[in-house]
Amino acid sequence: MTRASDSIPPRNARAVVDLLFTQRPSFHGELSAGSENYAITREVCDWLAEHVPQGSRTLETGCGYSTVSFLCRSGRHSVYSPFAGEHDLIRRWCASQGIDTSHVTFFAEPSQQALPARPREQLDVVLIDGDHAFPAPFIDWYYLADDVAPNGLLLVDDTHLTTGRILFDFLVSERTRWQLVCELGKTAVFRRVNSEAVAIGKSWADQPYVQDLQRHPPDLLGKINRGCRSVASAVLPAAIKAPLRKLFG
């Protein structure tokens, strides 16, 4: 783990999550901050409170209850989301509860514009939960994936949406680079399992998801074919899979 700081006193993250979901403050609103509440689920906040390493370096696209959950564990946390008013409300709520935010940096810019210029550093936990319109989640992943430390964690939220589901399916296929740890409702947690490049500079020929789509276009039969292949890959022994690949690709 790339420990950023040991000087931040630990706060009972579980207690803070309880406070969030008891008071349910509203942080969101593009035109009027605080007019909406698009909070990530309690299950995810509980998971962050339990599994984010104390003193770690973390980053998220988007902001909200996840931000508060992160900052109770992180040594240094970065937030990329475009609305400064939302950031101010998070700071003010934390201040009212005696929660330190001095180790959190907010960047009030769309992540897809800000991340390409971000200084590179290794990160222990990353949450992608910003703009869900195509192709924003993929841009977020592209500019963050290589900075996730080996054995570090990547969370992808809103996998029920098309963009989130495509990113989820892509990462599941990247078995030599990412391991699916768990699914927390519509949020998936992956662990990076290698130390080589996983995004920038990779050829399409090195990406199983792209190769599979090339061989089996995304029509109904293609979906059935890919589903059967995925199941077969998981359960069949190598001695049987090898001749099947020769027959069916």
Examine residue 210 and state whether it is found in any structural domain, yes or no.
no
Beta carbons of 81 and 157 less than 8 angstroms apart: no
Percentage of the chain beyond pLDDT 70 is: 82
Examine residue 220 and state whether it is found in any structural domain, yes or no.
no
pLDDT tens digits along 168-212: 999 999 999 999 999 999 999 999 999 999 999 999 999 999 988
Examine residue 246 and state whether it is found in any structural domain, yes or no.
no
Spatial distance between the Cα atoms of 85 and 212, rounded to a whole number of angstroms: 43
The residue type found at 39 is: A
Q: Does the N-terminal peptide bond of residue 82 adopt cis geometry, omega within 30 degrees of 0?
A: no
Q: Got the DSSP string for 34-80?
A: TSB--PPPHHHHHHHHHHSPTTEEEEEES-SHHHHHHHTTEEEEEEE
For residue 56, give the CATH number of its domain: 3.40.50.150
Is the sign of the CA dihedral 109, 163, 67, 5 positive or negative? negative
pTM greater than 0.85 (yes/no):
no
Spatial distance between the Cα atoms of 22 and 16, rounded to a whole number of angstroms: 10
Kindly list the distances between the CA atom of residue 61 and the CA atoms of 23, 95, 107, 156, 231, in Å, as whole numbers in the listed order: 24, 22, 10, 10, 33
Q: Is pLDDT larger for residue 137 or for residue 237?
A: 137
pLDDT tens digits along 116-166: 999 999 999 999 999 999 999 999 999 999 999 999 999 999 999 999 999
- Which residue in 152, 156, 8, 148 sits closest to 76, CA to CA? 8
At 233 the pLDDT is 61
pLDDT of 248 higher than 70:
no
Examine residue 153 and state whether it is found in any structural domain, yes or no.
yes
pLDDT of 63 higher than 80:
yes
Spatial distance between the Cα atoms of 145 and 126, rounded to a whole number of angstroms: 9
Examine residue 208 and state whether it is found in any structural domain, yes or no.
no
Range(s) of the domain holding residue 90: 13-197
Number of domains the chain contains: 1
Examine residue 205 and state whether it is found in any structural domain, yes or no.
no
Examine residue 235 and state whether it is found in any structural domain, yes or no.
no
At 194 the pLDDT is 95
Examine residue 48 and state whether it is found in any structural domain, yes or no.
yes
Beta-ladder partners of 153:
125, 191
At 39 the pLDDT is 87
Percentage of the chain beyond pLDDT 90 is: 74
- For residue 108, how many other CB atoms are within 10 A of its CB? 16
